[in-house]
Amino acid sequence: MQLLSKALLSLLLVSVALPAAEDDPIVVIAHPSNPNKNISSEQLNSIYRGLIQNWHDGQKIIVVNQKLGSPSRSTFYHIILDSPPNKEFMAPGSPKAFKPKERGSDASVKSFIRRLPNAIGYIHYSALDDSVVLLSIDDLTPEHPDYVLK
C-alpha cells in the first residue's frame, strides 16, 4: 500500500510539474534578423502549402515542419492548414509535392532557424528563447485569449 501511495504521489508531482498541452501553445518563429514580426493565418496557410515561397523582400522562405506524429504538427495542421498532419500539398505548377524541411523536436527547429535567416517554423511556447523571434499571428501573441494556436 505504501508503494502504491508513493507511485501515485510521484505521478501527481509529474503532472503538476509539466504543463498540459493546452497550456503550452504553438508559436511561429523566425530568425532574429527577419523583419517580419506578424503573419496572418492566411499567409501562414499559404506558406505551408507552398503557395507563398518568398518573403516580401524576395528572399526564398525556408519552411520547417515538426516531424510527422508530433502533437505540435497535428495541432498546427488542424488549425492553420485544416488538414491531417500527413497531408502533402502540391507545389504550384508542378506534379511534385511541396516538401518543407522536417525536424524532430522544438530544439532542432530552433537550431535550424537560428542558422538560416529566411526560415520559418513552429515550436511550443515554453521552448521559445532569444535565439529566435516569435511572429505574432493575426496581430495576437500567445497571451491573448483569441490566439489561434492554443
Ordered by start, the domain boundaries in the chain are: 21-137
Pairing of strands 133-137, 38-39: parallel
What does the pLDDT look like over 49-91, one tens digit per residue?
A: 999 999 999 999 999 999 999 999 999 999 999 999 999 999 8
Q: What is the CA radius of gyration of the chain?
A: 18
Model pLDDT, residue 104: 94
What are the b/e assignments for 32-67, b being 16+ CB within 10 Å? eebeeeebeeebbbebbbbebeebeeeeebbbbbbe
pLDDT band at residue 92 under the 50/70/90 scheme: confident
The answer to whether residue 17 scores a pLDDT higher than 80 is no
Taking residue 125's Cβ as centre, other Cβ atoms within 10 Å add up to 19
What CATH number does the domain located at 21-137 have?
3.40.190.10
